[in-house]
């Protein structure tokens, strides 16, 4: 069983479209995240949820909206996609605490044409 | 705000030799954790090693060790006996106890030469 699974793995779409990326974890963790990795490999945190509650919302355009139906799921919906949204999006989960590592999904490669 | 700095965009090492990847950090929180992740060309993020701010001894995991110098705020990763499969991006990260997030450095691309 995959601990953190995200779908789809690849997403190719046109500018202006709306798309969603789904993430599920079966580790029983309370905290889930979305990270964006740009073409230079820089990993930037976008959102963090703890027990379905939004904890961190970095300076991300409001076209990006996370949704957590329960603590095992954290989906990312993106409206009106732009060329600059092309990146790899990683979902991750962890227990709470500064000594807890993150478990990452395999990433979603988003290409906006 | 926490900040992680990796000053080496790229590093080369000969197979079977040791290599040190640098990482410095900045935080005002006395309690924090330092992490290293490996990202091979296949793209997945692989956890390597963890060091807590109150740990007295440097962390070790197989061929990986973390050279933790708290006063200098550095947490360098040492890979001994490099293998071709070690070629990858390596990320240093920090997580403060009072925060929910983990912040990453810019990464170092390691290439192991045969």
Q: For the segment A86-99, what is each residue's pLDDT rounded down to a tens digit?
A: 999 999 999 987 78
- Nearest by CB: B96 against A48, A94, A98: A98
Structure tokens at A66: 């996370």
pLDDT of amino acid A59: 81
- Cβ distance A101 to B103 less than 8 Å, yes or no, reads no
In chain A, % of residues over pLDDT 70: 99
Neighbouring C-beta atoms of residue B42, cutoff 10 Å: 9
Q: How far apart are CA A21 and CA A107, in angstroms?
A: 10
Per CB-CB distance under 8 Å, the chain B contacts of A5 are none
* A29 contacts A95 by C-beta, under 8 angstroms: yes
- Nearest by CB: A50 against B31, B100, B102: B100
Backbone angles phi, psi at A62, to 5 degrees: -75, 5
- Cβ distance A41 to B89 less than 8 Å, yes or no, reads yes
Where do we find the tokens 């990482």? B23
Read off the pLDDT of each residue in B50-70 and give the average, rounded to a whole number: 96
Q: For the segment A8-27, what is each residue's pLDDT rounded down to a tens digit?
A: 999 999 999 999 999 999 99
Q: For the segment B20-44, what is each residue's pLDDT rounded down to a tens digit?
A: 999 999 999 999 999 999 999 999 9
End-to-end alpha-carbon separation of chain A, Å? 34
Q: How far apart are CA B34 and CA B49, in angstroms?
A: 8
Per CB-CB distance under 8 Å, the chain B contacts of A96 are 100
B89, closest residue in chain A (CA to CA): A41
Q: For the segment A44-95, what is each residue's pLDDT rounded down to a tens digit?
A: 999 998 887 888 777 889 999 999 999 899 999 999 999 999 999 999 999 9
Per CB-CB distance under 8 Å, the chain B contacts of A31 are 100
Q: Report yes or no: B114 at the A interface, CB cutoff 8 Å.
A: no
Structure tokens at A91: 């979902």
């Amino acid at each position: 069983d995959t601990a953190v699974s995200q779908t789809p793995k690849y997403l190719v779409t046109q500018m202006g479209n709306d798309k969603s990326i789904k993430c599920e974890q079966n580790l029983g963790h309370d905290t889930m995240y979305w990270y964006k990795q740009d073409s230079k490999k820089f990993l930037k945190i976008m959102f963090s949820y703890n027990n379905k509650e939004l904890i961190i919302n970095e300076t991300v355009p409001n076209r990006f909206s996370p949704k957590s139906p329960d603590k095992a799921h954290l989906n990312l919906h993106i409206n009106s996609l732009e060329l600059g949204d092309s990146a790899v999006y990683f979902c991750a989960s962890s227990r709470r605490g500064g000594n807890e590592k993150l478990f990452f999904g395999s990433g979603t490669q988003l290409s906006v044409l | 705000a926490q900040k992680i700095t990796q000053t080496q965009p790229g590093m080369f090492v000969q197979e079977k030799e040791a290599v040190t990847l640098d990482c410095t950090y900045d935080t005002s929180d006395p309690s924090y954790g330092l992490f290293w992740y490996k990202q091979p060309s296949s793209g997945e993020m692989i956890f390597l090693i963890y060091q807590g701010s109150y740990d007295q001894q440097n962390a070790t995991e197989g061929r990986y060790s973390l050279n933790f110098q708290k006063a200098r705020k550095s947490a360098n990763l040492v890979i001994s006996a490099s293998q071709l499969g070690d070629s990858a991006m390596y990320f240093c990260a920090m997580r403060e106890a009072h925060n929910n997030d983990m912040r990453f450095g810019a990464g170092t691309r390691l290439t192991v030469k045969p």
